[in-house]
Amino acid sequence: MKANGWAEEAWEKVHEKVLRTSGRIGARFPHASVDGTYVLEAPHWWTAGFWPGLLWLLYRDSDSRDERYKEIAEACEKQLDDVLTGYDRLDHDIGFMWTLTSVARFKLLGEEESRRRALLAASVLSGRFNVKGNYIRAWNPWSEGQRNEGWAIIDCMMNLPLLYWASETTGDPRFKHVATAHADTVLAHFVRTDGSVNHIVIFDPDTGEFEGVNGGQGFAPNSAWSRGTAWAIYGMALSYRYTGKAAYLDAAKRAAHFFLANLPEDAVPHWDFRLPPGIERYRDTSAGACAACGLLEIAAAVQGEEAGMYREAGERILRSLYENYGAWDNPAEEGLLLHGTSHYPERRNVDVPLIYGDYYFVEGLSRLRGNSDTFW
């Protein structure tokens, strides 16, 4: 098989499966596949962008430019209009949602209505910035009376590209200022010296003072949630791409080295890298796929042998995902990658295909096949 021949083969398998699944899923919002079928979420759920984003990647990189993929992705984006005016439901995941729908469509087709939607989303995301603590507030209350105005989370690193893009497209640096202030807070309070990261950091929302950390989707406050590490790798690398600030690239590398040093033999991470004996060590393929994209982004930012090292590491993960975790031979399974773990502490969607794992896997393949443009 020629170099990357496996990636071509994987690309074909992805197409075969998505041709089938897109018929059932259509312009709706899959999240986790349970017993072979993707469970659908309401459009306001944070994962709403990944399915249309995946379809845009297949549309963009295929000679045939399948119009059905475009139609579905556009119909998904349109449904998000109601979400954009539903203020109470909007949280920091606006970045995931509108980058992979409106920014994607604008970058591919130059559609002005998509640019406007994405700018509105970027404005709402900027509005969540706390100027005292220099962080973007993560969520709204999950339950009646919950006070989480002071919570920031590592996942938000992947929401910052919407702000960088907004500054680029308008020429107005306000959005970028918010993004870099948040990223600097992540450097100061989330990325640990060994390259692992905190999931949730809590600040006093009035004074901005650091109050403590919370384990969130990781096993414990001092454990090392693997998807959180992946969000840090890729998010910091993207912040470097937009700003050229060396500290972001250094942080991306530090998180990457921690991630790589803690991978098991088959290069696909467990859901947390620091688990005590007796706790189930499920894999999280979504963390592997996202980290692989981050490693390829770092490779694009450095030169020579160093670039080769990061590229090889990203490819090793993607190839193992393809060869050991793909659902290619099971037409009854809608997910592309098996064994993702969404939220182990709450036992939600554990050891199942996840739409964001599928998305990052396809983005990683696209990069390996030579397309280094991203929607981020």
Catalytic residue list: 93, 155
Which residues in this chain contact ligand GLY in the complex, by CB under 6 A?
A: 46, 155, 217, 227, 342
Residue closer to ligand GLY by CB (options 227, 241) is 227
Structure tokens at 221: 């406050």
In the bound state with ligand GLY, the residue whose beta carbon lies nearer, of 155 and 333, is 155
SS3 call for 250: helix
Angle, helix 355-368 to helix 304-325, in steps of 10 degrees = 130
Q: Distance (Å, rounded) from C-alpha 96 to C-alpha 93?
A: 5
> Tokens 């002071």 map to which residue?
150
User: What's the closest the beta carbon of residue 268 comes to ligand GLY, in angstroms?
Assistant: 17
- Closest to ligand GLY by CB, 157 vs 301, is 157
Alpha-helix runs per DSSP H in 26-143? 50-61, 67-84, 94-98, 104-109, 112-126
Q: Are strands 135-136 and 37-40 parallel, antiparallel or unpaired?
A: unpaired
Residue 186 to residue 156: CA distance in whole angstroms: 10
Query: Do 43 and 78 touch, CB atoms closer than 8 A?
Result: no
Q: Can you list the alpha helix ranges (DSSP code H) found in 135-225?
A: 160-170, 174-189
Query: Nearest residue by C-beta to ligand GLY?
Result: 155
Residues 6+ apart with CB under 8 A from 128: 91, 92, 136, 137
Calpha distance 256→238 (Å, rounded): 13
- Minimum distance from residue 96 beta carbon to ligand GLY (Å): 7
CB of 329 to ligand GLY, least distance (A): 28
Phi, psi values for residue 12, rounded to 5°:
-65, -40
* Choice between 356 and 375, CB closer to ligand GLY: 356
CB of 342 to ligand GLY, least distance (A): 6
Least Å distance between CB 91 and ligand GLY? Answer: 10
Looking at the Cβ atoms of 60 and 89, the one nearer to ligand GLY is 89
